[in-house]
Chain A
Amino acid sequence: MTFTDIHSRAQAAAEPFLDRRRPRILVGASTCGKAAGADDLLAALPGHLKEMGLDIEVSQVGCLGLCYAEPLVELRSTEHPPLLFSGVTTESLGEVLTAYYRNGGGSALATMDDEAHGDAPPFEQLPMLKGQVRVVSRNFGRIDPENIDHYIARGGYAGLARALKMDPEQVIDEVRTSGLRGRGGAGFPVATKWEFCFTEAADQKYMICNADEGDPGAFMDRSVLESDPHSTLEGMIVGAYAIGASEGYIYVRAEYPLAITRIEKAIAQATAYGLLGDNILGSSFSFHAKIKKGAGAFVCGEETSMLASIEGKRGMPRTRPPFPAQKGLHGKPTTINNVETLANIPVIMANGGAAFAENGTERSRGTKTFALAGKIVRTGLIEVPLGTTLRRIVFDIGGGIPDGKAFKAVQTGGPSGGCIPADLLDLPVDYEHLAEAGAIMGSGGLVAMDEDTCMVDVARYFLEFTQVESCGKCVPCRLGTRQLLQILNSMARGDSKPGDIDLMLEVAHAVKNASLCGLGQTAPNPVLTTVKYYRDEYESHVNDRRCPAHKCEGLLRYAVDADACTGCTACLRACPAEAITGEPREVHTIDPKKCIRCDACYQACKFNAITKS
């Protein structure tokens, strides 16, 4: 079957779904949606529809990116414009359905039509969507991720069909024109990486998709695989064609079960359509892809560790050169690209590299997805042209900091990145500017922090992570991360010594310069940036034994304010450590020896009678 035939068949099959003026109910069912209650809604829907005498099909879609508003439900009918409802619960579901299907009413978050409907603005006009340009996330929430026809009907696999009519060199040139750089963190030009592998002569080459998204605070790759798995798969097949690989692996972390299920289905469907496997689309090119589940090791996100892990060994890095392009998996030339990088490829191949390069800056072309999380009003997944300022991302798209608190920092790049302070909010987000600030772009996690966040605690948190995840192969990383953590722990406990800040900087530089792989080379970044921008906070911890943000537990004491306490017993009941005593309607007391500083009493008290000092 030619691609034209596949495409027209897919279009006919997807039409009833893609036509927004046909009755249908769409439920956002990626991990975030499910955690917010999407599964309960899916279970409750048939009953409601039966009761209302409606025969309407229910579909699961991926993530629209508005995680703060989950679970999201889109209602469609022939009579009314399609509306998107946020925060739907099993309790409110019946009401929402009745209001919409009776008279097209209900307080919707947005309409999926082009024009506003009552108070509901068009989806693209929502504050969180303005300023976004969706390339990687083009299909998010708009297709059933488990249906290949939907993907093809919206332009999928056209890029692969075009690529197969070109020489591998021409494919690489098209990617070079796009200016695409690796989205996994380091930002290496994709065309150059492919060319290295293409020029190697070998009987066997491998194409690997790195879906081991390990940075805490990052969920871009999970969203791509859960919401549009075919885009990554298509990119991978194009890459395999360009470098000359006949076999490949998608290395996914085991913590992403839904992503694994969806990519498994995508592989089966693409194989059935002749888009994967032997003689793809009737050409002489064959490519087979398999899934490898990670087993819980952050360092496996590093290329050479990942290769060791796929070979069944301990996932430890090795020195480069030789680079994987020369000696990779089983000693054969191998290319490793990240999920998001590959998800850009179908668009580049279908529309041309020049069109892709229109977004972004001189050296950082295209768009980038970011996972907005932490102390921010609108958490979720966004995609903006590279070069967009942090202020725009945090305040215009993310809606700023909740509860009237002040913005303190934004953390980019996970444990390899750094904290960027308020006075650098106008920094354009691209590879070069973030590196200048001491952070890195990383894979795209953006965690906002408010005034209640202690920067010593943040650095300590990341070092705790990297110290555990250090594979132990090279000394600077194995011992250095431990030493850094010990110093930070002593600061948080209140028994650090004068000079500890400088000692910490010295160790940090040694780890950065001497470590074997990216994990160690970037592990000190959280320490270096927090000292650079928030040195006064470190000095308070060291010199005054004080944590200005009241966060570091060793410097913290919980007590009851006798004047404010009403003796309501709420704190006593909330305390899991039985550290609070007192009779009803009498002032309660906290035993500091038993107190585990869990904050439960502070949160339970309705009279602000629990004090932290």
Chain B
Amino acid sequence: MGRIVTLTASQTPGLDAVLARHPCEESQLIPLLQDIQDHVGYISAESMRAAATHLNIPESSVYGVVTFYSQFYLTRQGRHKVKVCQGTACHVRGAVEIIRAVTARLGIKPGETTRDFEFSVERVACFGSCALAPVMVVNEKVYGNVTPEMAIRILDELT
């Protein structure tokens, strides 16, 4: 007996509309996942299953791609996204002190989100704004020549 496939609308709001925008080709997987993340905020198990069905590829392939690329999040992210640059120039100009100050203030490690989903902290390889090192990006705004005190002030202004 063949497997019964029930086609139902997804639980995640907006997911079906995102899927409809992408042609059913395997090479669309990464743009599709990027689009899903832009709209949903992260890549849920449901999103991965939906992407696999849409592109007619195994779920394992989708999971493989999601976990390979650092840009994709498997969990819900905070309202404020704090990214501390770890580029070479930032490193020699004190990025380590910035990440320490930020994680100590928020009480989470890089890659984690606060319990109230207010903040997520990430270390990012390089934003290419090396001339202004050390650099911190909060909600897409780039801050240059950051000091530990300044980093804490930026966070405090958001809460």
Contact = CB atoms under 8 A, between A and B. Distances in A.
Interface of A: 31-32, 34-36, 67-68, 70, 213-219, 222, 254-257, 292-298, 309-316, 371-375, 379-381, 411, 414, 445, 447, 449, 453, 458, 461-462, 465, 469, 471, 553, 574, 576-577, 596-600, 603-604
B17 interface: no
B41 interface: no
Interface of B: 25-31, 33-34, 55, 61, 64-65, 68-72, 86-94, 96-97, 100-101, 104-105, 124-133, 135, 140, 142-144, 147-149, 152
A374 B89 contact: yes
B30 A312 contact: yes
Contact of B131 (A257, A380, A461): A380
B144 A314 contact: no
B2 to A, nearest CB: 28
B71 to A, nearest CB: 4
Contacts of B94: 599
Contacts, number: 173
A371 B143 CA distance: 19
A375 B149 CA distance: 21
Nearest to B99: A598
Contact of A600 (B86, B89, B101, B140): B101
Nearest to A601: B148
A218 to B, nearest CB: 7
Contact of A603 (B55, B71, B147): B147
Looking at chain B's contact residues, is the secondary structure mostly helix, strand, loop, or mixed? helix
Contact of B149 (A381, A449, A465, A574): A574
A254 B88 contact: no
A22 B35 CA distance: 44
Contacts of A36: 132, 144
Contact of B72 (A295, A380, A445): A295
Contacts of B33: 295
Given A295-B30, A314-B68, A603-B149, 17 more contacts: A216-B86, A219-B131, A254-B71, A255-B125, A255-B128, A292-B31, A293-B31, A312-B26, A312-B30, A414-B88, A447-B89, A447-B130, A453-B92, A576-B105, A598-B97, A598-B100, A598-B101
B48 to A, nearest CB: 14
Nearest to B65: A314
A35 B92 contact: no
A222 B148 contact: no
B20 to A, nearest CB: 18
25 contacts: A32-B144, A35-B144, A68-B131, A214-B125, A214-B126, A218-B130, A293-B31, A296-B69, A296-B70, A296-B125, A309-B30, A311-B26, A311-B27, A312-B26, A312-B28, A313-B29, A371-B130, A373-B89, A374-B89, A379-B130, A458-B92, A465-B86, A574-B149, A596-B100, A603-B149
Contacts of B142: 31, 34-35
Contacts of A600: 97, 101, 148-149
Contacts of A598: 97, 100-101, 104, 148
Contacts of B90: 216
Contact of A314 (B64, B71, B147): B64
A260 B59 CA distance: 30
B133 A599 contact: no
A35 B132 contact: yes
Nearest to B135: A35
Given A217-B126, A312-B26, A599-B94, A445 B104 contact: no
A310 B27 contact: yes
A310 B28 CA distance: 9
Given A576-B152, A596-B104, A598-B104, A219 B130 contact: yes
A167 B70 CA distance: 44
A381 B101 CA distance: 30
The 4 closest A-B pairs by CB, nearest first: A67-B131, A217-B88, A295-B69, A373-B89
